[in-house]
Amino acid sequence: MPTSITAETILRRKPDALFAAVGNDVVLMSTEHGKYLGLDDIGSEIWQLIEQPIAVRALCAALADKFDGEPAVIERDVSTLLDQLISFSMVEVQPS
C-alpha cells in the first residue's frame, strides 16, 4: 500500500462530493481542483462502498468477494484509486 494509506486506514467519501451515475459508471467532479474523474464499474463499486466509513482492508476483501482477481492486484489497484480520490479531495481519512 502507498505510504499515504494502509490496510487499516478508515476512509469514506466526502458527503458533499459531486458525482453522477452514468449507466454503470460514475463521474466525479472536483470543484476544488477543477477536474473530473470517470469511474468504471469496479471504480463505481468502490465509490459505493466508501459511502460509509470503511477500512481499506475490508474494502479490498469486499471487492475480492465480488470480483475475480488476485488479492495483491486488487490491493494495488484500490490503493491507486484511493490515492487519486484523496488528491482530488473526494474522500476523507478518518482519524484512528
pLDDT in tens, 28-80: 998 888 889 999 999 999 999 999 999 999 999 999 999 888 999 999 999 99
- pLDDT band (50, 70, 90) for residue 96: low
Q: Please, are residues 74 and 1 in contact by the beta-carbon 8 Å criterion?
A: no
For 58, the grid coordinates are 475490508
| pLDDT attached to residue 80 | 94
The H or E element that residue 73 is part of is helix 71-87
Contacts of 18 (CB under 8 A, 6+ apart): 28, 29, 30, 31
User: Hey, what domains does the chain have and what are their CATH numbers?
Assistant: 10-88 (3.90.930)
What one-character DSSP code corresponds to residue 9?
-
pLDDT exceeds cutoff 60 at 2: no
DSSP lists the bridge partners of residue 11 as 54, 93
Using CA atoms, how far apart are residues 15 and 76, in angstroms rounded to an integer?
25
